Amino acid sequence: MSEETLAQQHHHYHALRVARVIDETPDARSFVLEIPTERVEAFAYQAGQHLTFKVPFDGRDLLRCYSLSSSPECESEHKVTVKRIAGGSVSNWMNDNVSAGDVVQVLPPAGRFVLREADRSLVLFAGGSGITPVIALIKSALVRTARPMKLVYANRDAASIIFEAELRELRTRHADRLEVVHSLDDSEGYLTSERVQAQLAGHADAHFYLCGPGAFMEAVEQGLEAAGIPRDVVFKELFVSPEDDMPTAEERASTAEADAGALGCETLLVTVDGATHELAYEGGKTVLQTARDAGVQPPFSCEDGYCSCCMAKLIEGEVKMRKNDCLTPRDLEDGWVLACQSVPQTKTVKIDWDAG
Ligand SMILES: Cc1cc2nc3c(=O)[nH]c(=O)nc-3n(C[C@H](O)[C@H](O)[C@H](O)COP(=O)(O)OP(=O)(O)OC[C@H]3O[C@@H](n4cnc5c(N)ncnc54)[C@H](O)[C@@H]3O)c2cc1C
Ligand code: FES
């Protein structure tokens, strides 16, 4: 298959049949997807990546990301795991309506929450459904590396622990290098910054992987920061939904303001896969659009400001983001931007997708 055809396949939705549905806990189900032979290449993935689903809901299409809980090194099937969120549109729709034999619309795998090559030990923090990519990372790291690892897994109560049996089995099989610590809100209270710090003894040189909803991530990041862990060894995936599927008044104003500022930009320098490209900038386009129109292929997925796949470092100049549902104040402080939402505001703008 030609590069172009594969690239095209990466950025449109594919109709995939659900092969099996697995009840994991009272409020979470896994969905095993069938990948037709002609889509195998497009759906190749790394542990920790996610799929974006397009779901028809109330007369609109809603986009939601779901991480693969399967590991490409250990399992032949693609499996995602969806936990119900109280009042949530898509998570409940998936759990209530999707059965074996149904067809779902899915973008190929994407995402930066993947294992970085290193010899260091791994400390992984998962909150609730955040275990989904984390268990995939653990399974892959156990077969691909000799790295010792510790999982700290927070849940509301014992009944909410997704993959409890699989984790127990992994721990028994790899007792010499996998430690699993469960933290249950109903008996111990929420995981706090102090309790995070207590888990770090002997792991100052580790790589840290964090995944879960906002409040959990904030507590873990605060704990790591208080313990003096540098941010460049912390890798994270924040589980969020798009704020709203229709632009809010604030987003419309932000778009207009960003587009007005774009008029002064002439040159966009983008670094992707080790190569830097100098691109002429046309007002009103985002950094991602400009790069793609010039034939550069940076990573992206939802194009909606929420999956964080297109994250890149702003090295020079200024950009304005039309919307941002996933980067935290800490990320913005560190210079991260969402290329799919960033409109250049200065004469020259330099963006690096390879950083981090
Ligand atoms: C890269 C990525 C990977 C993801 N992988 C998974 C996964 O593997 N499994 C999984 O179950 N979810 C995952 N999510 C979260 C998922 O995409 C949805 O955000 C989630 O299912 C809620 O969607 P909804 O339509 O049901 O809720 P919505 O209708 O969007 O939201 C309803 C309410 O719940 C709040 N809310 C939304 N998400 C959460 C959350 N995670 N925790 C607490 N409150 C929330 C909203 O603020 C809102 O008030 C992932 C998100 C991202 C960005
Ligand atoms: S592509 Fe999803 S946030 Fe930019």
Q: According to the CATH classification, is domain 249-352 in 1.20.1740.10?
A: no
State pLDDT tens for residues 290-308: 999 999 989 998 898 989 9
Spatial contact of 64 and 92, defined as CB atoms under 8 Å apart: no
CATH number of the domain located at residue range(s) 122-238 in this protein: 3.40.50.80
From the CA of 339, the nearest ligand is: 2
For a pocket test of ligand 1, which of 51, 79, 85 has the largest count of ligand atoms closer than 8 A to its C-beta?
85
- pLDDT score of 245: 59
Separation of CA 265 and ligand 1 centre (Å): 36
Q: What share of the chain is helix, strand, coil (3-state, %, to 5)?
A: 30, 30, 40
DSSP state of 68: B
Q: Which of 136, 189, 195, 186 is nearest to 166 (CA)?
A: 136
Q: Which of 245, 255, 215, 252 is nearest to 340 (CA)?
A: 255
Q: What angle do CA 18, 242, 100 make, to 5 degrees?
A: 10
Domain range list for the chain? 3-110, 122-238, 249-352
From the CA of 301, the nearest ligand is: 2
| Fold designation for 3-110 | Elongation Factor Tu (Ef-tu); domain 3 (2.40.30)
For a pocket test of ligand 1, which of 32, 46, 91 has the largest count of ligand atoms closer than 8 A to its C-beta?
91
Consecutive H or E run containing 270: strand 267-272
Separation of CA 287 and ligand 1 centre (Å): 27
Structure tokens at 293: 């129109």
Query: What is the per-residue DSSP string for 74-134?
Result: T-SSEEEEEE--TT-HHHHHHHHH--TT-EEEEEEEE-S-SPPP-SS-EEEEEEGGGHHHH
Cα(244)–Cα(241) distance, integer angstroms: 8
State pLDDT tens for residues 202-231: 999 999 999 999 999 999 999 999 999 999
State pLDDT tens for residues 5-51: 666 677 789 999 999 999 999 999 999 999 999 999 999 999 999 99
- Average pLDDT across the chain, whole number: 93
For a pocket test of ligand 2, which of 53, 340, 343, 351 has the largest count of ligand atoms closer than 8 A to its C-beta?
340
Q: Which of 162, 78, 159 is nearest to 128 (CA)?
A: 162
DSSP state of 356: -
What CA–CA distances, in Å, run from 48 to 68, 133, 134, 172?
7, 4, 7, 23
Q: How many CB atoms lie within 10 A of CB 189?
A: 10
Query: What is the per-residue DSSP string for 148-208?
Result: -EEEEEEESSGGG-TTHHHHHHHHHHTTTTEEEEEEEHHHH-S--HHHHHHTTTT-TT-EE
Residues near ligand 2 (Cβ within 6 A)? 300-310, 338, 340
Consecutive H or E run containing 269: strand 267-272
Task: Using a cut of 0.95, tell me whether the model's pTM lies above it.
Answer: no
- In this prediction, residues 104-109 reach a mean pLDDT of 95
Cα(281)–Cα(287) distance, integer angstroms: 9
Could you check whether 3-110 and 249-352 share the same CATH topology?
no
From the CA of 111, the nearest ligand is: 1
Residue 3 clears pLDDT 60, i.e. is over it: no
State pLDDT tens for residues 244-282: 556 677 777 777 777 777 778 889 999 999 999 999 998
Strand partners, 184: 155
The one-letter amino acid at 150? K
Structure tokens at 263: 């008029």
